[in-house]
């Protein structure tokens, strides 16, 4: 089975590609090696060997691209996990990878969102926000635990509130921005540091009928002029990584409207306390923590008053829930 393939639509360029893979990984080591391959690969997939209960992490990159970065990332993953798998590689035909992806990518319901790949026939959907995604070499499928956590959190938030100003930091395929735009009928600024992700998000938004609402832009976090100009935001998605989330805590708190919500993901359960502490120091209150496998999604809210901020810093007034 496949657990995840992600990051954008099909890449139709004729660059020679190679497949990289690591086999026999215990589940606890998967996130570190997934992140390592993601530093150089256009797409990463996880396959479970049910007979051995171990994982295969596989990626596709242009042949030989950024070899030094890959070696450093793999060395760091090995040091963190205590696991040292052998990296294997082979030339790959893009269509062969695509065939495997299509076979693994089925329709999935996540909270109030239904994700349907383009290779499945259309059918009428009631009571859910429908997103159609292309099963291409690089795309956001929603299968990754971080994305699932964000969609589950958003489904709960959207039932209680109707935020007006929306931001999706690190949009990837645009899946979170599209879900918000479709459900709330509001414009969403969707940013990413990768130009191909911006293109992919634009294409996916057009395919899903929200091209006028999802405004994809190349931007590096909160420092970008366009991101700063849209403040304050009522809802922010940030599906990134734990340490960048901690580094941006000050900017996030300043960029949220009073009472605004932030949905943070890309962090392991073991990193949740660190990320939460960084944001509590900035007056953010924990509303919910959603564990999905080894990953955790945090739903935070900016306090309305200094009194609330002081309570947040001491841990009072925040509740933890499991999903």
> What does the pLDDT read at residue 199?
86
Nearest to 128, CA basis, from 206, 176, 182: 182
Strand partners, 289: 298
Give 294: exposed, middle or buried? Use CB within 10 Å, 0-12, 13-18, 19+.
middle
> What does the pLDDT read at residue 235?
98
> What does the pLDDT read at residue 210?
97
Cα 51 vs. chain centroid, distance in angstroms? Answer: 29
- Tens digit of pLDDT for each residue in 53-81? 888 888 888 888 899 999 999 999 999 99
> What does the pLDDT read at residue 45?
74
> What does the pLDDT read at residue 232?
97
- Tens digit of pLDDT for each residue in 214-254? 999 999 899 999 999 999 999 999 998 888 899 999 999 99
Q: Which DSSP category does 134 fall into?
A: -
Establish how many alpha carbons lie within 13 A of residue 236's alpha carbon, considering only the half-sphere containing its beta carbon. Answer: 32
SS3 assignment, position 17? strand
> What does the pLDDT read at residue 5?
36
> What does the pLDDT read at residue 142?
63
Low-confidence ranges of the chain (pLDDT < 70): 1-15, 42, 50, 93-106, 135-143, 305-323
> What does the pLDDT read at residue 270?
85
> What does the pLDDT read at residue 319?
40
Distances (CA, A) of 64 to 16, 41, 58, 60, 84: 10, 11, 15, 11, 21
Q: How far apart are the first and last CA of the chain?
A: 24
Please give the domain boundaries of the chain with CATH numbers for all domains.
2-101 (3.30.70.260), 144-313 (3.40.50.150)
- Tens digit of pLDDT for each residue in 79-90? 999 999 999 998
């Amino acid at each position: 089975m496949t657990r995840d393939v992600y990051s954008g639509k099909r890449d139709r360029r004729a660059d020679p590609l190679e497949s990289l893979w690591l086999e026999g990984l215990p589940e606890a080591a998967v996130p570190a090696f997934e992140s390592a391959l993601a530093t150089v690969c256009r797409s990463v997939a996880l396959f479970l060997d049910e007979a051995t209960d171990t994982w295969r992490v596989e990626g596709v990159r242009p042949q030989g691209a950024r070899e030094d970065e890959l070696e450093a990332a793999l060395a760091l993953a090995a040091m963190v996990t205590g696991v040292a798998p052998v990296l294997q590689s082979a030339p790959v035909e893009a269509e062969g990878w695509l065939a495997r992806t299509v076979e693994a990518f089925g329709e999935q319901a996540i909270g109030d969102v239904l994700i349907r790949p383009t290779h499945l026939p259309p059918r009428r959907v009631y009571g859910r926000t429908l997103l159609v995604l292309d099963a291409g070499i690089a795309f956001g499928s929603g299968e990754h635990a971080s994305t699932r956590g964000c969609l589950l959190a958003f489904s709960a938030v959207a039932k209680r509130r109707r935020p007006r100003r929306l931001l999706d930091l690190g949009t990837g395929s645009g899946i979170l921005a599209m879900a918000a735009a479709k459900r709330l009928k509001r414009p969403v600024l969707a940013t990413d540091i990768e130009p191909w992700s911006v293109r992919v998000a634009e294409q996916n938004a057009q395919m899903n009928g929200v091209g006028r609402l999802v405004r994809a832009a190349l931007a590096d976090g909160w420092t970008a002029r366009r991101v700063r100009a849209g403040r304050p935001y009522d809802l922010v998605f940030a599906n990134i990584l734990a340490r960048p989330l901690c580094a941006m805590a000050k900017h996030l708190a300043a960029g949220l409207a009073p009472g605004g919500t932030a949905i943070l993901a890309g962090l392991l359960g073991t990193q949740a306390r660190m990320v939460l502490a960084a944001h509590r120091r900035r007056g953010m209150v924990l509303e919910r923590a959603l564990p999905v496998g080894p990953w955790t999604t945090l739903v935070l809210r900016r306090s309305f008053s200094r009194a609330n901020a002081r309570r947040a810093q001491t841990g009072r007034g925040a509740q933890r829930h499991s999903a």
